[in-house]
Amino acid sequence: KLGEAVEGRQIIIVSTDHPEYKRLTLAELAAMAGSKKLGVVDGRLVIDDWQAPPPGVAYIAVGRPLRIS
């Protein structure tokens, strides 16, 4: 289960383009992690809402500009 895997994490690395991950938003990942500060490394460019991360989320991906909120 994805929720169990990311619960309590401060950094999440997305390294697959599985359909389950393609549907995720940064806000959903932050809520599942439950961390006030979260770093998301998107190794497959699957996060679609990367341009406007929610407060406390930093988004990093190869080929995209760094986004920190």
pLDDT at residue 45, as a whole number: 93
Residues 69 and 63: their CA atoms lie apart, in Å, by 19
Instruction: Provide the 10 A C-beta neighbour count for residue 14.
Output: 19
In angstroms and rounded to an integer, the radius of gyration of the C-alpha atoms of the chain is 11
Q: Is the distance from CB of 50 to CB of 69 less than 8 angstroms? A: no
Q: Diameter of the chain by CA atoms?
A: 30
45 Ramachandran zone, left/alpha/beta (phi>0; psi -120 to 50): left
In this prediction, residue 19 carries a pLDDT of 87
pLDDT confidence of residue 47: 92
pLDDT at position 8: 96
Could you report the per-residue pLDDT of 4-61, keeping only the tens digit for each?
999 999 999 999 998 888 889 999 999 999 989 999 999 999 998 999 899 999 999 9
**Residue carrying structure tokens 């920190």:** 68
